[in-house]
Amino acid sequence: MASQQHRVGDTPWIRRTLIASALILTMLMLVIPLVVIFAQALSSGWATFAENIGNEYTLHAIGLTLFVAALTVPLNLVFGTSLAWLVTRFRFPGRKLLITLIDIPFAVSPVVAGLLYLLLYGRNGWVGSWLTEYDIQLMFSWPGIVMVTVFVTCPFVARELIPLMQQQGTEEEEAGVVLGASGWRIFRRITLPNIKWALIYGVVLTNARAVGEFGAVSVVSGNIRGQTNTLPLHVELLYQDYNIVGAFASASLLAAIAILTLVAKAFVEWRQSRPEHPAPEKGGV
Amino acid sequence: MSITIDQISKNFDGFQALDEVSLDIPEGKLTALLGPSGSGKTTLLRIIAGLESSDGGRILFGDEDVSQLHVRDRNIGFVFQHYALFKHLTVAENIAFGLESLPRKQRPSKTEIQRRVDELLDMIQLPDVAKRYPTQLSGGQKQRVALARALATRPRILLLDEPFGALDAKVRKDLRRWLRALHDEFHFTSVFVTHDQEEALELSDQVVVMSQGQVEQVNEPASLYARPESRFVFDFLGQVNTLSGAVRGQKLSQADAWVSLPGIQAEGEAQLYLRPHEVQLDRSPASHAKLPLRIESISLIGSEVRIELTPEGWQSNEIWEVGMSHSEFARQNPARGERWYAIPDVGHLFLAGANHPRSVNWQYPSGISASNQ
């Protein structure tokens, strides 16, 4: 619309340049690498790909990764929901501080987090040395991997829920309790339906991160093939072994999970933005 | 079920929201808690409900001390200002929620619940909205549904927190009338919070005026308006015209203005409060008062002509307001900018240091009352 007044700098020439550069950058930085992963993984044909995925160690890494995610997601689901409930439904000294502390895992480099866990829970660590007496080993085995993964991913659910629950307030829950509903009934019938989509969103993000976490896990896992090797660690090991096709085959699995995550995320965002109960139906029952 | 509030106190982080409030709320009556924001009225309502705990004191329903009883077990109905309907449940499910929350032994059967929901939908005159969701209703409809939900379990007591606060003027009036009719039919003990004087006086059987965490006055609406017991109640309930000055020789004067005070022996600083309908206007001063004023504006809309005036030759903190009947207005024909004199019929005098007023009546000099309320 030539007759319309342009905003400052909004000439067709600048607009085209901006759009073009954004597109080129997206292609170079995001799309091409993704395509390359699948291209490399399949470079020696489907048979080799299947063979690489079917490899004993790769299968174990897939299993361990899914196992860790399967433990991490429910743990953080409960943790995140309780935490969000606590800081949005109660007033107590230190509440603001607690909200800030939730972000520590985002602020701290995962490698540092891994090292801290190693220091605390390792064989010679403060807690670890005491546990060793009872013959409990956390580090360099799957419990350690789960612990650091839980740490790294614990903010996702809480961060999604806190703003939403703050905005929704407590009136509906108060109405529920006045009507005689038990705490569980209020949570299930009133709170949960209100936070459902934010919760799913948080779970999707938690899962993506739990599957893909490298730094913290690599510190505490010990990289024992067939025992403590998760999929991201396995990719690196294969690559160092000059098994490029194998590395990319495993990487393509992670990439596939990432794409699924994006689809799930887009769907949840779409559901969240949609009004739950649109326009009144025509005239009653 | 009557409610007894016995020396209830509540402190929020150093702010004294309620200061040893004691109050009796009679059974079967509609009581209004009226006050400006921050007066503690909503806090008191929430403490009665059990949604808030008190720092000290007791709440009794009838003879039963419920102070330690959980909200869940108090069997009250509560209506929130912003409806607080469960937005993921249909209207019918909202109304049935309380019944379905009852312990299994007391819970009515599914068909019984269904019957009760239909009955309540009829009562709120919305029989066709059962399957709708709250977002598909108007504000007035939502508040009716909220009321039906609160009444579903046949509570002993109905509490309403600014129930019409979020509605527009027209809907508010309709709903007010409807609630009054409903109350007259069922006679549940109800308490509602409002900051709207008109609403409190129109709707309730008893008004509790609150200020700064304390009860200022408890009265029936008519008595409350006619005989306010404190400056606060005076200021809060409707427009008031004031003359501040010094009393000497049974006369209150300030600069050019004065009013005779037959029968008042005291001397010193004082304030005279006059309601708009207790004052008339004339073109010349009367023998008992000289209050020169200039007409600032004239509002013709309404059952009475409302005239706003400013003092001439003396001071008042606020603009004066006087009501005049339309026929009187047509006869006298006052115009903006003219000087007129206020002629008080009845006044309320606050002497320095006194919290209660003394009435002064010029209209019937024989009946001059200097009652000491």
Residue contact B86–A176, C-beta within 8 A: yes
Computed from CA positions of residues A208, A161, A167, B138, in that sequence, does the dihedral angle turn out positive or negative? positive
pLDDT at B169: 85
Residue contact B132–A172, C-beta within 8 A: no
**In this complex, which of A175, A280, A285 lies closest to B80 when CB atoms are compared?**
A175
pLDDT at B150: 95
Residue contact B133–A277, C-beta within 8 A: yes
**Which residues of A are less than 8 Å from B117 in CB distance?**
none
CA distance A193 to chain B (A): 7
Q: Put the strands of the sheet holding B305-311 in their side by side order.
A: B279-282, B339-344, B292-299, B305-311, B320-324
Q: Is A281 on the interface with B (CB under 8 A)?
A: yes
pTM of the model: 0.80
CA distance A177 to chain B (A): 5
CA distance A269 to chain B (A): 18
Residue (of A226, A199, A106) closest to A155 by Cα position: A106
**In this complex, which of B72, B87, B132 lies closest to A180 when CB atoms are compared?**
B72
Evaluate whether A283 touches A83 at the Cβ level (below 8 Å): no
pLDDT at A126: 84
ipTM above 0.95, yes or no: no
Q: Is A14 on the interface with B (CB under 8 A)?
A: no
Residue contact A181–B82, C-beta within 8 A: no
CA distance A179 to chain B (A): 5
**In this complex, which of B77, B88, B135 lies closest to A275 when CB atoms are compared?**
B135
Which of these ranges, A127-131, A259-263, B25-29, B50-54, has the smallest mean pLDDT?
A: A127-131
CA B136 to CA B139: how far, in whole Å? 10
**In this complex, which of A171, A176, A178 lies closest to B76 when CB atoms are compared?**
A178
Strands B289-290 and B346-351: unpaired
Q: Map tokens 């003879």 to a residue.
A: B63
Residue contact B128–A189, C-beta within 8 A: no
Residue (of B201, B210, B199, B85) closest to B146 by Cα position: B85
> What percent of chain B lies above the pLDDT cut of 90?
66
**Which residues of A are less than 8 Å from B51 in CB distance?**
174, 177-178
Helix (H) or strand (E) holding A71: helix A56-89
B-proximal residues of A, 174-233, CB under 8 Å: 174-182, 185, 189-190, 193-194
Interface test with B, best of A174, A177, A179, A285 (most B CBs within 10 A): A179
Residues 6+ apart with CB under 8 A from B111: none
B179-222 pLDDT, tens digit each: 898 888 888 899 999 998 889 998 999 999 999 999 999 999 99
Interface test with A, best of B135, B141, B157 (most A CBs within 10 A): B135
CA distance A283 to chain B (A): 8
* The two three-digit tokens of residue B12, written as one number: 């929020």
Tens-digit pLDDT string for chain A (285 aa): 444 555 676 788 888 999 999 999 999 999 999 999 999 899 888 999 999 889 899 999 999 999 999 999 999 999 999 999 999 988 889 999 999 999 999 999 999 999 999 999 988 888 888 888 888 888 888 999 999 999 999 999 999 999 999 998 899 999 999 999 999 999 999 999 999 999 999 999 999 999 999 999 999 988 888 888 999 999 999 999 998 888 999 999 999 998 998 899 899 888 877 776 665 544 433
**Secondary structure letter of residue B105 according to DSSP:** T
Coil, helix or strand at residue B217: strand
Q: Is A274 on the interface with B (CB under 8 A)?
A: no
Helices A56-89, A244-273: crossing angle, 10 deg rounding: 30
**Which residues of B are less than 8 Å from A284 in CB distance?**
128-132
Distances (CA, A) of A111 to A212, A230, B358: 14, 16, 80
**In this complex, which of B80, B136, B146 lies closest to A277 when CB atoms are compared?**
B136
CB pairs under 8 A between A and B: 84
Helix (H) or strand (E) holding A198: helix A192-212
**Secondary structure letter of residue A281 according to DSSP:** P
Domain map (residue ranges) of chain B: 3-227, 239-367
Residues 6+ apart with CB under 8 A from B238: B197, B225, B275, B276
Q: CA geometry: angle at B10 spanning B7 and B16, to 5°?
A: 110
pLDDT at A6: 59
Coil, helix or strand at residue A227: coil
**In this complex, which of B76, B82, B136 lies closest to A171 when CB atoms are compared?**
B82
Residue contact A172–B78, C-beta within 8 A: no
* The two three-digit tokens of residue B143, written as one number: 């508040």
Interface test with A, best of B42, B80, B101, B136 (most A CBs within 10 A): B101
Strands B30-34 and B206-211: parallel
Residue contact B88–A171, C-beta within 8 A: no
CA distance B234 to chain A (A): 34
DSSP string, A27-57: IIIIIHHHHHHHHHHTTTHHHHHHHHHHSHH
Residue contact A178–B85, C-beta within 8 A: no
Evaluate whether B359 touches B347 at the Cβ level (below 8 Å): yes
B-proximal residues of A, 164-183, CB under 8 Å: 171-172, 174-182
pLDDT at A1: 45
Q: Which CATH superfamily is domain A57-273 in?
A: MetI-like (1.10.3720.10)
Q: What is the number of other CB atoms lying within 10 angstroms of the CB of residue A45? A: 10
**Which residues of A are less than 8 Å from B49 in CB distance?**
178
**Which residues of A are less than 8 Å from B85 in CB distance?**
172, 175
- Beta strands (DSSP E) in B68-205 are 76-79, 157-161, 189-194
Residue B259 — pLDDT band, cuts 50, 70, 90? Answer: very high
pLDDT at A5: 59
Residue contact B102–A182, C-beta within 8 A: no
* The two three-digit tokens of residue B305, written as one number: 């002509």
Mean pLDDT in residue range B276-295: 92
Residues 6+ apart with CB under 8 A from A20: none
Residues 6+ apart with CB under 8 A from A157: A76, A77, A79, A80, A81, A84, A199, A202, A203, A206
Residue B189 φ then ψ, to 5°: -75, 120
Largest CA distance in chain B: 79
Residue of chain B minimizing CA distance to A92: B13
Interface test with B, best of A95, A172, A178, A187 (most B CBs within 10 A): A178
pLDDT at A281: 47
**Which residues of B are less than 8 Å from A279 in CB distance?**
136
Distances (CA, A) of B284 to A118, A155, A247, B315: 96, 78, 105, 19
pLDDT at A282: 44
**In this complex, which of B72, B98, B131 lies closest to A285 when CB atoms are compared?**
B131
Which is higher by pLDDT, A282 or B264? B264
**Secondary structure letter of residue A3 according to DSSP:** T
* The two three-digit tokens of residue B29, written as one number: 């009556």
Domain B3-227: give its CATH code. Answer: 3.40.50.300
What topology is assigned to B239-367 in CATH?
OB fold (Dihydrolipoamide Acetyltransferase, E2P) (2.40.50)
Cβ-based interface (< 8 Å): residues of B facing A: 49, 51, 71-73, 75-78, 80, 82, 84-89, 97-98, 101-102, 128-133, 135-136, 146, 149-150, 153
Coil, helix or strand at residue B119: helix
Residue contact A277–B130, C-beta within 8 A: no
Residue contact A172–B85, C-beta within 8 A: yes
Q: Could you report how far apart the first and last alpha carbons of chain B are, in Å?
A: 31
Residue (of B103, B119, B102, B122) closest to B111 by Cα position: B119
CA A218 to CA A111: how far, in whole Å? 8
> What percent of chain B is helix, strand and coil (3-state, nearest 5)?
25, 35, 40
Mean pLDDT in residue range B160-174: 88
